[in-house]
A and B are shown apart, each in its own frame.
Chain A
């Protein structure tokens, strides 16, 4: 393996299309207008010496090494700041220039260590050598060679003695990351880089690493570079944290990972990174890793290390026994959104082919399943419409229920760049997230709604646009279904959808809604970005459809700068959904009831697939408690910590007879497992991840598997042991099978990915190079469909007993359940989950800042530390669920989205009381009664309420249930439910279903 070197052209590429021809050192060069002379020269293979310029940053012109001469012009301008001009004749080498460069370098060397700790990493010595000078003639009595290092950051050091004040770090922090944490202190000779007058750790620095990456010397250096030494080889791979999917060069020294360096060529991140991807990879080699399979007969027994063969055989025997006793539907599997497309594909294949049922679901169930449903209904497919770069072309950005600076930091940096360039921002969030006001960014509107009232706000926005005549009729006429628009138009124009009426629910001032609606409707390019604050609600799917409506009514689909963009939580949420992880869908979002689709797989796999949808995750828990679901294969997901109403989840897991967990660590779920199959970290995988912009990125192994096996191999072994032999020689082979069976992936192969870097699906004969922007001329479904979205208040209401609403989210340094980040130095920033509450709520309850509080809901209680803040309004409290000790999900309920059962994590009625001690002390509630029946009744009534009452809702409801529910659940709905508990529409739907039968 060799080192991958990305050439630095010195200044960014020009976006001009006009071409300019000039002569550099006698060589003819043609480049786009506005290209710098430095870049033009570099493109022609002429390297002009430089220190302060790099092509990730705007030209600065401070080092003065890149001086050149231009025929007919005075002086020696810097080539980085001088643009090319037609017919220009440039000289980059002359006696004069040589003298100037040596003179400048002499000055540098007069205040720089003779030898640098990072050796060749320091460009000062490299450039000095290149221009032929090694020493300075100056006596140099004043220097900066005795300044102490700043070692406060866990990942990098700042050694001011090596700093040449080129400002690259400061500019990277400003231009690339947009945090403005760094500055130059003092002026003249005393000008020094400063993390704003304090240590890096104490500063605003978010440790994204952009400054370290930008530094041409050893002043800012990864600590691992100093401890491990210079890398000798590198591999391009993809980060395994959030759905941004950044490309990195994993730089190795022997078999040791020295550092992760963001890839300039990476389509998603274009050379940027965040603290997690850049630095927090230590978990991959953490001593907590389990590398040997383990089994036990009962969850109260100790684990026993066994061979792979024994573990697989033990698991298969257990699962087969269950199927023999309770039927083939009594087992199932959960795929992982952290794993590769190839691993996910194989797991769902095992469930469908070897388990012979459709009981496969994925952790996307609890995050973005409403996106799948909503966008599928409106546009015809479940995916964001744009690439990330698109945001830089937006004029107005509507950000709903997402906190990108914490959860999608690299995308947030792009968004901030667009905002600094003048785009306007509308934030819809109960909390004052950073983007409401942060250096360089002030949101035009913050619609601070009450949790659970998203649909009220989106309807009010659409109401204003339609009733004030701001709808883009041309777009609607050309691109959308006329009938659906007319019906929706009539619906949304109803007074009940006006901001004035809905203000009572949402608490957003009507006038603010009207202004925001006008701003969004008036934008030449308006884009919508959203996160789990949209989906994790009882009306998550309705909200997604409301968002799609808003995009269509304003004509914001089908070009750069617009679109509907779900920000995906996990690295491969998009991919795991694409790969057929949902119980009702085969790969490529094709319903299991479709015989043509089933035939493709039946033929390929040599099986007969079940045509009925299988169980969703919460259905599995309900069925387990009902006694007819007894075996579960959980792949890389910690349901015991991440899923809502922990009491319910734990009770269900305890009720099962064979729980198989495949993971890196003994996670919370493994406490209920009988078989533990060790997994591989992303550094050991060979496959692909698909990010939130549908970009399929390669994941390449940089080290060998710690377990001796790849994860898909283990899945195949289990499948084989279950009686359905599977085996693949490589990840590439699995992708070939995906491509052969899934039309949107038809053109994807590892070979092509290795050639072009990445591909955005659909990638097929019609779009051989992939599809950065979707729905260009027509929607995937043909015409766009407007869906009526009545606002139905959640049943989860603040009460006298539980008067506050809890909403949950993420912090920058931790990730999801924290299994990865808690095993890194990231803990320095966030050591525990904190409960945020407003001062007035705190005072009322005698809670002081930093004290322990007991947080309780109707399903459980826990203790955590309180933080008094005005980031939440009175009546709303907020926390994260990164730490199992605090167990925030003990509090959350199993209320869920009516269409997809995505949990309502974002709204839980709670009460807070001061606590003498902490943390933890979780109290689960006892689960008894017919939980499954109760869920069926709640879900049926919820579905009934969500179809417009005027338009045969019972027919739509009946259709919905048949499409998504398992036969067992439908049967219980007919047979076991006390009909007096069902709403009139639900009752009518039952009749419709009976007639249809």
Chain B
């Protein structure tokens, strides 16, 4: 009898380990599988049981519920107050369009058999049968864009690396998922690590790289453990190593654990960190695609980008790009967090509105108070009020609205939020995480905090608001990387969309 209890960090954080242990001790003959989380985080720990009609879900399950679940014969899908019905029919999940996350939560993360049974390795096998040019062409054709935030077309980046002449090339996966309110990279690695490995292997074959590095943040100990096991298994299986699945291609994969710096998620700072140096941003050019890790041509893609590649290769570019709107093709893995009733992973084609995610999937705030603002795209993303909720979540529309999609995180705030404090937080976050290389970010962020403090205190409000806007321009146009360059986005969006919070008066509402 197979019982699924997620081994994902989010599930563990709400007691999944204890639940798994309790079931193991109380349900004789059970085989417990620690799958990834399906992403409906408010239902975690979500326990699933394999029955004749498929998997049946219960959640959120606590240790105290186990006895009553046993009494209700949950092992055979018996009814219980925590019953969620057949897993596949849970509306919140069933209404999504899972491409990148299609196996997450479903399979045993480290079972290669399970992986293959659910369509794994199809893309890689197809890639091996193709010319490297054709792989790059297929990825270009699919329209997949970088999911890390910048949205640069992956195929074009790959082409640059493929065309570069060098004795050594690298694939670097950026898994330094530092944006507040984002967790998709982690959930994918913990729930379906082979997909990332497959995506990186395809990238390596396509551009002629033989070494890959996953830069994985130290704050993700479970992900590190699972990915390392997956790499070891893939190696033993003959997928990684001197001959990928028996082909002429060689590919070795390693994990490099970060050391707690947000800016190391910036691609060039990440390269410095992998090289063993201080995590400091490099000036571009040279592009990392031409002179990246150790000065060699390097593909740097985010976990979600690389993990989307197996699906693109398995189903073809046409199937992928049939989804989405405009130049934002395929699906985006949205991560809904903050003050929300139903947080988690929402994978939908680009073009879904903020409203549909925040109120549709999220169901409003957890506190029950009205939503006042949503920050889209991480700590450097813009704050939107409900008047902007019809905005389509795609790269171009977000840009037009003065924001960005970033890594796809949406953080919900109710009406108790003070946007001046949030603007201050943006500056202080930058001050805390700035690498300290360029002047606008290094000094500007601290001056930003000080200036917003004066505004909050009501000191020379108009003068300081002007100074703050001037500073925002210097940081936006003068900073070396996106860290300093985007910090003004939450600040300015807060000032523009919520001017009433910047009057310097204590009781503004």
Contacts and interface: CB of A to CB of B under 8 A. Distances in A.
Contact of A140 (B433, B450, B474): B450
Given A75-B477, A183-B278, A64 B439 contact: yes
Interface in A187-207: 187-191
A83 interface: yes
Interface stretch (B80-88, B239-247, B401-409, B440-448): B440-448
A188 B431 contact: yes
B477 A107 contact: no
Nearest to A74: B477
Contacts of B479: 64
A67 B439 CA distance: 12
Residue of B440, B444, B473, B478 with most partner-chain A CB within 10 A? B478
Residue of B279, B446, B450 with most partner-chain A CB within 10 A? B446
A189 B436 contact: yes
Given A64-B480, A103-B470, A189-B431, A81 B285 contact: yes
- Counting contact residues on chain B (CB < 8 A from A), the size range is 35 or more
Given A103-B474, A141-B450, A183-B278, A188 B433 contact: yes
Contacts of B283: 59-62, 78, 81
Nearest to A96: B477
- Counting contact residues on chain A (CB < 8 A from B), the size range is 35 or more
A903 B107 CA distance: 79
Nearest to B283: A61
B454 A63 contact: no
B471 interface: yes
B285 A104 contact: no
A63 B283 CA distance: 11
Contacts of A60: 283, 437
A189 B478 contact: no
Contacts of A148: none
A402 to B, nearest CB: 29
A191 B281 CA distance: 14
Nearest to A189: B446
A701 B97 CA distance: 83
Contacts of A960: none
Contacts of A140: 447, 450
Given A99-B473, A103-B471, A103-B474, A188 B445 contact: yes
Nearest to A100: B478
A821 interface: no
Interface string B463-489: 000010011011001111000000000
A82 B480 CA distance: 12
B434 interface: yes
B438 A62 contact: yes
A189 B439 CA distance: 9
A82 B470 CA distance: 25
Contact of B439 (A62, A75, A81, A139): A62
Given A75-B477, A81-B285, A100-B478, A189 B451 contact: no
Interface in B62-76: none
Contacts of A99: 470, 473-474
Given A61-B480, A100-B473, A107 B444 contact: yes
B434 A187 contact: yes
Interface in A71-96: 75-76, 78, 81-83, 96
Nearest to B436: A191
Contacts of A111: 443
A188 B442 contact: yes
Given A100-B478, A138-B450, A110 B435 contact: no
B499 to A, nearest CB: 22
A269 interface: no
A140 B448 CA distance: 10
Interface in B274-288: 278-280, 283-285
A191 B451 CA distance: 21
B447 A187 contact: no
Contacts of A75: 477
B186 to A, nearest CB: 24
23 contacts: A62-B283, A62-B437, A62-B480, A100-B473, A100-B477, A103-B440, A103-B473, A107-B440, A107-B447, A107-B474, A110-B443, A111-B443, A140-B447, A165-B436, A186-B436, A187-B436, A188-B430, A188-B431, A188-B432, A188-B433, A188-B445, A189-B431, A191-B436
Given A103-B473, A103-B478, 20 more contacts: A61-B438, A63-B438, A75-B477, A76-B478, A81-B283, A82-B285, A99-B474, A100-B473, A103-B474, A104-B439, A104-B440, A107-B439, A141-B450, A142-B450, A167-B437, A183-B278, A187-B261, A187-B433, A188-B446, A191-B435
